[in-house]
Amino acid sequence: MNHKTCTINGRECFISDSICPQYILIQTLGNHERGIFDSTAELITKACGVPFVLAAFQIFDWDLDLTPWHDDAINRKAEVGTKTGDTLRYVTESLLPALEADYGKLPVILGGYSLGGLFALWSAMQTDRFSAIAAASPSLWIKDWLDFAQAHPVKASKVYLSLGDQEEHVKNRSIARVGDSVRGEYELLQARLGKENCTLVWNPGGHFQDGDKRLASAFSWCIKALESK
């Protein structure tokens, strides 16, 4: 794959592409994701064998850019929960047009890890711009997630969820509810999309393990699911 770094409308972007890609994959690029971006792209290539372009866009403030509403358990700053719409508009109005100018209009898979996964799921409830969602260990422990999800069905056709099997076994009670929230989200997805169009994968370990492998598995499943339509 070819790898490049560029700036698109004020945000640094990492891009890996194949010849004649068939899918556009978009993910968040936080500080912890910079070191695993190339390995994520390589793992997706090995897993699915379908040409794609993977683009990761810079996140300036992890909590502020990706938290869809305020939750003191995530961050006590009052402004957290007010900027996620701006992040989604960047994806749909700046990043995607730039990518489509280079690669054409292709099916788009939005994904992310942790708060990035939460952002991807939330985004799929706001717009039908994404064909599939790759949510690896998403931070669905945010308060009132299931109430919101019940009232705002996803508009993507395929959704991948995963969680580490130790993520809900923590002392912090807010974070510990992630297991029930993910299970609840999966039940909603099965009812709305059908069991064949969504999945929930349990990975061994806690939250901060194998981020590249988990995210690559999420994207790979989405590509295969879209290929099988």
Q: What pLDDT shows up at residue 207? A: 84
Q: What is the pLDDT of residues 84-99, one digit of tens each?
A: 999 999 999 999 999 9
Q: What pLDDT shows up at residue 165? A: 93
Q: What is the pLDDT of residues 165-195, one digit of tens each?
A: 999 999 888 898 999 999 999 999 999 999 9
Q: In this model, does residue 229 exceed pLDDT 80?
A: no
Q: What pLDDT shows up at residue 88? A: 98
Residue 24's region, left for phi above 0, alpha for psi from -120 to 50, else beta, is beta
Q: Residue range 17-26: average pLDDT? A: 96
Tell me how far CA of residue 169 lies from CA of 24, 58, 64, 100, 130, in angstroms: 35, 31, 26, 42, 32
> Which is nearest to 53 in space by CA: 87, 94, 104?
104
Q: Residue range 24-48: average pLDDT? A: 93
Q: What is the pLDDT of residues 122-160, one digit of tens each?
A: 999 999 999 999 999 999 999 999 999 999 999 999 999
CA dist., res. 140 & res. 121, Å (int): 9
CB half-sphere exposure, 125, CA atoms < 13 A = 22
> Which is nearest to 135 in space by CA: 69, 181, 171?
181
Q: In this model, does residue 42 exceed pLDDT 80?
A: yes
> Which is nearest to 66 in space by CA: 114, 127, 134?
114
CB half-sphere exposure, 85, CA atoms < 13 A = 5
Q: Do the beta carbons of residue 179 and residue 215 sit within 8 Å?
A: no
Task: Enter the tokens of residue 228.
Answer: 């099988």
Q: Residue range 39-56: average pLDDT? A: 95
Q: In this model, does residue 32 exceed pLDDT 90?
A: no
Q: In this model, does residue 68 exceed pLDDT 90?
A: yes
Q: What pLDDT shows up at residue 209? A: 84
Domains defined for the chain, CATH in brackets: 2-222 (3.40.50.1820)
